[in-house]
Amino acid sequence: MRTRPIVDPAPPAWTFPGCEVTALDSGLRLVLVDLPGQHVLSIRTIVPMNLVDEPADTEGIFTVMSRVLDEGTASHSPTEFAELVERAGIALGAGVSDGGLSVDMDVPSGYAAAALDLLTELLSEPVFPGAEVRRAVAARLTEIDHADAHASSRAAKEFLATAVDPSHRASRPTGGERAGVRAVTSDALRREHARRVGPRGATVVIAGHLAGTDVASLASRALQRWRADGQVSPTPWRPPPSAPTAGRIVLVDRPGSVQAEIHVGWPGPDRHVDGGWAPYPAAAWLLAGSPGARVDAVLREEKGYTYGIRGAYRSRRRGGHVVVAGAVRGDVAVESLGLLHGILDRSADGFTDAEVASAVDFLSRTAPGRYATADTVADEVAALALHDLPWDFTSAYLAAVTRLDAEAVSAAHRRWLAPGMAARTSIVVGDAADLEPALRRRAQEAATRLDVVRSRPA
């Protein structure tokens, strides 16, 4: 056996890859990131769309739209389009989040031209055939059933419904609920597409090995064809306001559960926050990110109550939440909830120098490996567009992380930490027959209210 080697503490000579940004006259921004050796190009398209702009009677329509953009265009039938995509080796996906529409393509570099043509086609001339729309609606309805059946997604949904004021769209699932989704039609999709999906304010990111191919010209030539005369600007984003029900404990009855899913959260900052974003991922890592983090040190490694509890500062485009969530053994669920809130209460005392040093080293030194491939770099740059952040945000953030100390991380965490159990929303998804009496006592002790949700949501 040898003795433990000493690690040279010098930080790596590495910076986040640079972005070359050009603007097309349509208002589209084209961002190129050259990554030598990455022969599968990652193309990410972001169209800022605010969910509050969905018509109230068809909430979920943006998500349904994202899934039928490639299901029939003015030039190709759904199966013809699928064939063109798949024969070019393209992996295609699309979805909607709080910041807008994302269309993702990964493609071998030799097929870049084909990919950019197909991308332009699905963005600019989808026709939303009735049969495909009905299929996408049915698929989304199934997806809602699945989300309600999984304890973790059920808890996340109940958290937003309890913590966010119902006047704000963020209190309901991004993909919509059953009634709104059922009301989506081809006509409604055409109308929304014409108003929302245009090049103005949109961004196309292309990351990968760019030398030897004039990707910039290929992209501008193809994407110049994307026009949308009727495009209207999205409503400005605002942080989701808290609901009167925030701070309650909500027990969602899931009979027969062999575990309880716990989901605790409170309002948090977004990445535009005063003082900078750098302290927040560090605080989350120390609280419930690292395998040795404070929550798992007790609930997993000391008690053996869980496979793992994870936490994060979740930034939206504007506003956010701090969330700590995971599954615990059913018969210790109420005890676990108490232990978790105790750890959160004590986190107000701050983090130690040693803790913060380890978080700083982890977050800053893993960056070269985390951003080693075209897809991870493209995803990060696309996230900047989705969150309305400058192109140098990531490198500035990583530099700021290296300057963090215990004082800075503790103060930032304290600034947002909701004081006490009754100030944090707690969701428990499990078997109410086992959990309700003890949970009711716990709610009384904490001077908050327990609500029990018994039926499946409509």
Partner 1 sequence: MPLDYPIVEHTLPNGLKVVVSPDHTIPVVTVNLWVGVGSRHEEPGHTGFAHLFEHLMFQGSAQVAKGEHFESLLAVGGRLNATTWFDRTNYFETVPTPALELALWLEADRHGHLLAAVNQTNLDNQRDVVKEEKRERYDNAPYGTALIDIYATLFPSGHPYHHPTIGSMDDLDAASLDDVHAFFRRYYGADNTVMALVGDVDPEQALGLVERHFADLRPLGEPPRPPGPQLDPLTEPATLVREDTVPNDRVHLAWRLPVDRARDHDAAALALDAVAGLSMSPATVDLVRQRQSVTHLHSSVLALVDGASIGLVVLDVAPGEDPVAVEDQFCAVLEAFLQAGPGEALLEAVRAQSERSWLSALAAGDERADLIAQSTLLHGDPALVNTRVDSLRGVSADEITQAARRWLQPGSRASVTYRRTEDR
Q: Which residue's CB is nearer to partner 1, number 307 or number 437?
A: 307
Residue 46 CB, nearest approach to partner 1 (Å): 21
Smallest separation, CB 109 to partner 1 (Å): 9
- Write the Ramachandran bin of 243: left for phi over 0, alpha for psi from -120 to 50, otherwise beta: beta
The packing angle between helices 61-68 and 130-149, to 10°, is 120
Give the DSSP per-residue string, 381-413. HHHHHHTT--TTHHHHHHHHHHT--HHHHHHHH
Nearer to partner 1, 14 or 346 (CB): 14
Q: Is 100 or 326 the residue whose CB approaches partner 1 more closely?
A: 326
Return all residues near 349 (Cβ < 8 A) that are at least 6 apart: 410
- Count CB-CB contacts under 10 A for residue 17: 17
In degrees rounded to 5, what are phi and psi of residue 300?
A: -100, -60
**Residues linked to residue 204 through DSSP beta bridges, in sequence order:** 30, 45
- Written as one string, the DSSP assignment of 74-118 is SS--HHHHHHHHHHTT-EEEEEEETTEEEEEEEEEGGGHHHHHHH
Looking at the Cβ atoms of 14 and 20, the one nearer to partner 1 is 14
Nearest in space to 151 (alpha carbons), one of 330, 336, 338, 334? 330
Residue 10 or 211 with smaller CB distance to partner 1: 10
CA–CA distances in Å: residue 155 to residues 53, 165, 234, 426, 453 = 26, 17, 30, 9, 11
CB of 392 to partner 1, least distance (A): 19
**Least distance CB 32 / partner 1 (angstroms):** 18
Shortest Cβ 5–partner 1 spacing (Å): 4
Q: Which lies closer to partner 1 via its Cβ, residue 137 or residue 384?
A: 137
Q: How far apart are CA 367 and CA 371, in angstroms?
A: 6
Task: Please state the closest distance from residue 431 (CB atom) to partner 1, in A.
Answer: 10
* Closer to partner 1 by Cβ: residue 233 or 366: 366
Tell the smallest beta-carbon distance from residue 17 to partner 1 (Å): 10
